Amino acid sequence: MGESISTSGNISDREAISELINAWVYHRDRGNWDQLRETFWPEGTISISWFDGQFERFIDSSKQMSEKGNPTKHIVAQPFIRINGNRAVSEATVTLLGRGVVGPLEIDFTAYVRFYDLLEKRGGIWRILKRTAIYEKDRMDCVKPSFLFWIANFFINLKKYPKACRFLCFALEKAGQEVTKNIVEDHSEKLRFLYKGGDDWLS
């Protein structure tokens, strides 16, 4: 990631962006869809493990996921923010927690992710223009100790998924969600391309 743009910026701008990132997590996890819509510009896009497209459609898909009873929780750290005028790039470490069912087993999965956001300030208001998730690693655990969980690992084909989020992708497919083709893994060529595009856009 380039360092050509100053990280100082206006303190009020940095605080507004940080609050915006936290607001996205708060409203997404609680199903506050109208408030969640206000975190992105209307033409904004989001690219994550199970969705790649317009943010408005992401909200509709998130509603459907919530109605299926597939709860998730995002824990977000303080973002690293670079500002250049009315444009900014933010990168925040996120822990994604979820629960699902595989056969007779109740499963918890944990994914370690970074949200890479391009933001714009229009009319004095910051909102997200583009979000891309960067996947680092993940894991899957059985909620209750079970010998079946140990046995099941021999029959689960995880090689078809990106290594950085293979358990997450497995859980998503079991929940009826399609995994996208554009997943960005840490230390990958896709990540280098993502950072280069963000640096060019910011400068």
Residue spans of the domains in the chain: they are: 11-202
Query: What's the token pair of residue 174?
Result: 């079991």
The tally of CA atoms less than 13 A away on the side-chain side of residue 127 is 18
Strands of the chain, DSSP E: 40-47, 52-54, 72-76, 80-84, 87-102, 105-122, 125-142, 184-185
What is the enclosing helix (H) or strand (E) of 31? none
The pLDDT score that the predictor gives to residue 5 is: 37
Summarised one tens digit per residue, pLDDT across range 151-167 is 877 778 899 999 999 99
Nearest alpha carbon to residue 173 among 98, 115, 94:
98
Summarised one tens digit per residue, pLDDT across range 118-175 is 999 999 999 999 999 999 999 999 999 888 888 877 778 899 999 999 999 999 998 8
- Which CATH number is 11-202's, of 1.10.10.10, 3.10.450.50, 3.40.50.300, 3.40.50.150? 3.10.450.50
Under DSSP, the state recorded for 39 is T
Under DSSP, the state recorded for 5 is S
The pLDDT score that the predictor gives to residue 9 is: 52
Nearest alpha carbon to residue 133 among 37, 45, 69:
45
